[in-house]
Structure 1
């Protein structure tokens, strides 16, 4: 099913618990067909933001909108939610409870049953439909939890740590499902501590700390804000790079050195390479762009 484009807008929401500020003017938008990675340390405000979007808790100020309108009890039913604290019934049969959850979201019995079968097949669980949930491995239980978020064919997906505890095969299955949903026009918001997955899957990323959005953009935009590192392996002694403006050695061992270049310095990678070649044989030279985990550490540090 192709979904009508409806952005999920988090607009200036704040939440306090006594003296603790959980959220302080949190704002971002997840566009139709976009996978948005929501990352931050424990206690940064990710789960609180998601729970407010779902109406589980209320904000002190600010607003959550879907398609330009404030979320209501009715429109929240069009959100597929996967909580960090998994909440299915362990002693109920897998297929029956998925169909039941679809019916709770207003899906008629026949399409609810059909959708359940379709999802279990996609997730490789067709043969477990009549099994109790607790008889499944933890990874397969996680797949069922994703199916529960998808079974009513939601207009928005909100997933809190969906990849936690999954083996690599299950990670790939879940990743493919999220990409498929985004391809159908669904805004997908998920939080994760697995930054390699966020970097691989997400169109845009928001990095939060202490209840505030600290950095936001595409992965490439965020990586462009960090320092490149140059790794050089050259048979030379002494500070052969010493005459290069703004070049700092930040690591290395023996004839292998790691360098950064100060912002605004006229020195280029070619300048570093030419100087290294003038000092001795160069066995290796590479430019490393910062990855998302490097940027995350830089953004959230006190």
Structure 2
């Protein structure tokens, strides 16, 4: 269990973090989302010991997180840190050795990641010869090579094509299924919604929403009723807002008696759709940071 409790950080008169708290359980995929400058990177740097918080704590299994524990983590920083002249496979092996792997184990892990992340044809190329997307894949391999006990990834999907996104998502899901807590930041909210068990939304240094994705989407007051009626007579919705799309009328509302609405819709025309819908993570994010 990785727990972040009441982190506070200021730079002069600017407050970067104002009481940030959340936890990532073993095997949980946690999406950390927020606008640019909201505090995501600062939080991750404090978790990894790159920055020191003014107050608050970071614990691992209930004890303060220190260097020995951080050494077992996989970290992908916002500013990538690859050696541009070094060849791809050699670089991954090198970082594996820095994490304490034997030469054989590092080579085996590097070979597996090169294949899994679609880098086989570029394994002998210098990093500087790669596209930004492929450099991103190498950086991810570096974070994963030592089979980390936790993963802290700052925008890992940035710059990746859809195939690379799928390959990385599969690797991360395997790690989480093996019990590794995974926290990653991303602006791709549809991807976060699809992959993550829980999410934390940060705005101006404060956590404005946090919890399991399904729970956040299903909280009272967030559901909306969507009704689509074809060939409906006018004014069937008793004053509720209806939009016209060709020969269909669409009602979206969180008010009214659903059974009364259904009866009116059936009498008005052909009901093509009737059901409650939950908001997307994008809609929840807009609501939370507004």
TM-score range, shorter chain: over 0.9
- Name the residue aligned to 1:297: 286
Could you give the per-residue CA deviations for residues 169-193 of structure 1, whole angstroms, max 9, x where no partner exists? 0010010010011011110000111
Report if aligned partners of 2:155, 2:184 keep a CA contact under 8 Å in 1: yes
Name the Cα RMSD after superposition. Answer: 1.8
CA 1:201/1:114 → structure 2, altered by over 3 Å: closer, same or farther? same
1:100 Cα offset (Å): 1.4
Q: Are 2:48 and 1:59 equivalent residues in the alignment? A: no
Distance 2:238 2:55 in 1: 55
CA 1:251/1:43 → structure 2, altered by over 3 Å: closer, same or farther? farther
Distance 1:251 1:49 in 2: 44
TM-score by length of 1: 0.89
- Name the residue aligned to 1:104: 98
Could you give the per-residue CA deviations for residues 93-144 of structure 1, whole angstroms, max 9, x where no partner exists? 1111111112222223222222212221222323322211122233222111
- Name the residue aligned to 1:3: none
Equivalent position to 1:204, from 198, 204, 208: 198
- Name the residue aligned to 1:164: 158
Distance 2:262 2:148 in 1: 53
Report if aligned partners of 1:12, 1:61 keep a CA contact under 8 Å in 2: yes
TM-score by length of 2: 0.93
Q: Are 2:217 and 1:259 equivalent residues in the alignment? A: no
* Structure 1 unaligned residues grouped into runs of 5+: 1-6
Report if aligned partners of 2:242, 2:249 keep a CA contact under 8 Å in 1: no
Matches within 5 A, 1:133-282: 133-225=127-219, 226-242=222-238, 248-249=240-241, 251-253=243-245, 255-262=248-255, 267-268=257-258, 270-282=259-271
Could you give the per-residue CA deviations for residues 15-60 of structure 1, whole angstroms, max 9, x where no partner exists? 1112211111111111111101111111111111001001111100
CA 1:124/1:208 → structure 2, altered by over 3 Å: closer, same or farther? same
CA 1:251/1:18 → structure 2, altered by over 3 Å: closer, same or farther? farther
Corresponding residue SS for 1:63: strand
1:165 Cα offset (Å): 1.4
* Structure 2 unaligned residues grouped into runs of 5+: none
Matched pairs, number = 287
